[in-house]
A and B are shown apart, each in its own frame.
Chain A
Amino acid sequence: MTVLRLLLFVLVLQFSHLFIYDHENHILSIYNFRFLSNISQAIAFCSTGLKKEFGDLLFIRLLQYYGKKNFYYDDYLDGYYPLMNIKVRDLAIVDPFYENAIVLGNTILAFGLKETINAKSNLKIALISNRNNHKYLNLLAAIITYESNKKNIIDEKTLLFLYESALEDSSSDMFRNIVAFLCLKGGRKDLAISLYRKVIEKSNDKNYKEKAIRKLKELKAL
């Protein structure tokens, strides 16, 4: 009888896991923590279920680092923060839903410290689990626009990534217009045409529709 009760106990424990079998967990598992700079601290926080609080601490440390000149290196000039990318990347891995912090960190990296490649990769890391987050996608588009103005080249890989996001039903008309503009600038007329057609199909705004029709007439695709 005792064995039967134990067996029933174990079966019910296992049965409870059926409710969460294949349940989508939107947060990255700690398997990705192997890319962190300080994994032991991250594990210590996660073992008590304080992942979000660790993200907050990382943000505070980022502010303290950026707010203090020559934090680690006395002989560097003002405005040189070599560890900034590591700190922003750690934040993107630990808590990709901490929007304001990730946007702030990557804005500093891209426009303040001119490390656009690092900023783009950090945003893509955050977008893995926080898909179609418009703040991150808009910042990514802004970084590509900045790069194209400064270096006169367009990152085709990121552009294709943004194009796929713009095709989603959840993306805004403004974002589709931005990506269409970038596609035209990058010489990808076909992608821009499909985006303008998407705007005409999905948009509820008369102005965006008229603009898209005008653009398609210019591109002779209408």
Chain B
Amino acid sequence: MTIRIISKTYLLNLLKMTLRRIFYLSLYYFREFLLSRVFQIIIFFFVFSFLTSSLVGILAVSEEKKVLLDFFLAATYLTSILFSIVYPPLSINNEIETKRIYLVISKSTSRYECFFSKFFAFVVTSFALVLISTSVFFIFLSIFKGYHLPSSYFKEIAFIVLKTIVIISISMGFSFITSSFYSTILITTMIWIASHFTLELKYSLNNIKSAIDYFGYISYLLPDFSYQKLDMNIFLHYMVYSSAWLYLAATIFDKKEL
């Protein structure tokens, strides 16, 4: 009975220490991103898309609010996707090339802790980017246009964050599979684009007429980004899909010779 209590306390302490290490490492990687060149480029891209979106809204006359909201969502989506495709492979490759990863692993941090701290840092950073963009749009809409953000806007924001998590997990997976970050960025971009046509690939599978239609089976290896509205089924699909990629990436990183 006594041994069981000790081991329970021991496990809890171990969990707390692991989470604390992951938290501080994530904070370090987050700060690293804020000081990087990629952050400046992403901010420039965001400002450019924000200005374009605000100008397009004027052309819509009676539908200005809807067009502004749609284009602001698009700007948020593209900014977060740009970050999730470009920064994870860049950061991971940089750490491995400069051997900085040895500093982290040598300090009684397991490879899994290092891996998940990077993942959480990327997720928190993409969430922070989405939060910044939503705040800017909220200020612009309420002060300059007199509109307010509807509740459905926040559901769309949650949808964007989920898609970003999927793309981050894919880009992290390919970062450890390939040694070049250019190929990771290219492959992740191709997967992101192809995922928007998963519905059509599945449709072609149901109507197979020639051998080339069997290529449609690749749709079951891609995430499904053809849906426009978030619900429980799509949430579960994205969570299970990104878990599979994280499992693969963590396993490869654990066995990789750095």
Contacts and interface: CB of A to CB of B under 8 A. Distances in A.
A19 B240 contact: yes
A59 B203 CA distance: 29
Given A12-B247, A20-B227, A53-B70, A101 B221 contact: no
A17 B228 contact: no
B224 to A, nearest CB: 6
A22 B246 CA distance: 26
Contact of A56 (B67, B228, B229): B67
Contacts of A30: 197, 199-200
Contacts of B233: 19-20, 23
Interface size bracket, A side: 35 or more
B71 interface: yes
Interface in A41-72: 46-53, 56-57, 59-60, 63-64
Interface in B29-81: 56, 59-63, 66-67, 70-71, 74, 77-78
Given A23-B233, A49-B196, A100-B63, A13 B74 contact: no
A12 B70 contact: no
Contacts of A16: 223, 236-238, 240-241, 244
Interface string A134-176: 0000000000000000000000000000000000000000000
A10 B225 CA distance: 19
Interface in A7-33: 8-10, 12-17, 19-20, 23, 25-27, 29-31
Interface of B is mostly: helix
A51 B244 CA distance: 28
Contacts of B224: 17, 20
A5 interface: yes
Contacts of B223: 16
A10 B199 CA distance: 19
B238 to A, nearest CB: 8
Given A9-B244, A19-B234, A101-B63, A14 B220 contact: yes
Interface string B83-124: 000000000000000000000000000000000000000000
Given A9-B245, A19-B236, 7 more contacts: A13-B221, A16-B240, A17-B224, A19-B233, A29-B199, A53-B70, A56-B66
Closest 10 CB pairs of A and B: A16-B240, A12-B244, A16-B241, A19-B237, A19-B236, A19-B233, A56-B67, A47-B193, A9-B248, A60-B59
10 contacts: A5-B251, A9-B248, A12-B240, A20-B234, A25-B227, A27-B226, A29-B226, A47-B196, A64-B59, A100-B66
Interface of A: 5-6, 8-10, 12-17, 19-20, 23, 25-27, 29-31, 46-53, 56-57, 59-60, 63-64, 98, 100-101, 104
